[in-house]
A = this chain, B = another copy of it.
Amino acid sequence: MSNLKPHALIIGAGAIGSFYGAILKRAGCTVSAVVRSEYDAVKAHGFRFESPLGDISWKPDHLYKDGDRPDSTPDYVILATKVLPGSDRAGLVRPWVGEGTNIVLIQNGLDIERELADAFPDNPIISCLAFIAVSRVAPGEIKHNAYGRLVMGRYPSGLDDHCQALSDLFVEGGIDIKLTEEVVRERWLKCVWNTPFNPLSVLANGADTYTMLDTPGGEKLVREMMQEVIDAAKADGYALPPEIIDSNIDGTRKMPAYKNSMALDYLNDRPIELDAILGNVVAIARKHGVPVPRLETMLAALRMRA
């Protein structure tokens, strides 16, 4: 990396990817993007934002579509697609990765880094979890509602200069970063909420949080599913604090009823991140011989729908 501000390329520049692209642009980076269906809109107008951060709308320095090749190898390739069963994320990234390119994942779920780490063993893998409320309202138009914090760490563990440098850029661009030496633990922690609530909302035909908790047997089931996640995490080497179940339930009850992102994907006929959120948790539990009958029931029922 030179002393010049680095070059970041966003792959999957939807609401989340284009938001973090905007932050890096504010930090002075060269920021490019690979887009698919929204190429024409972004080419014409860039990414237009409504955000509490002010005017963070931006135009990519280079705009690419699938099949294009880079003008120069970026310092950061930021993958911000949804993690869908059957998608070839290594293939998506490969054309853009050079020697020393940092591969940055801003994606949901558990055990989603392995595919990239296996495909690019010599590149740094920076794994990020986004805590943000942002949504695409039209081609190239994004509404940033709140938050934006990233939890970031080296995959599979530790911290290094690559993480620190990227964190500095994001902070310079105006968002909060939590650096962690145990990003996998952070993913497990997020699974305690996501792995029960997200798939359950789909099985319940898009039910909101209160509907799920207040249905007879609902809160009990959610708590039992959270315990299954905790059991799997423990067998995987991550002992999570037991009070996390209470705090997740209490936190959910303190917020208004809402439909989570997987429920919204389902209700809008978009594919759901089934493996990233649920399937990988079940696979790890099975590998360790941990019984997760409730999670397995959800997983099989949801796979039967496809």
Contacts and interface: CB of A to CB of B under 8 A. Distances in A.
A164 interface: no
Interface string A276-305: 000000000000000001101111110111
B207 A296 contact: no
* Size band of the interface chain A makes with B: 20 to 34
Interface stretch (A120-128, A130-138, A212-220): A212-220
Interface in A95-109: none
Interface stretch (A74-82, A198-206, A234-242): A198-206
A174 to B, nearest CB: 39
Contact of A218 (B220, B221, B304): B304
Q: How many monomers of this chain does the complex have? A: 2
Given A200-B304, A225-B297, 11 more contacts: A205-B305, A207-B304, A215-B300, A215-B303, A216-B300, A216-B303, A220-B300, A293-B297, A294-B296, A297-B298, A298-B301
Contact of A301 (B204, B303, B305): B204
Contacts of A51: none
A217 B300 contact: yes
B297 A221 contact: yes
10 contacts: A203-B301, A204-B301, A204-B304, A207-B305, A216-B300, A216-B303, A293-B293, A293-B297, A294-B294, A301-B301
Contacts of A303: 215-218
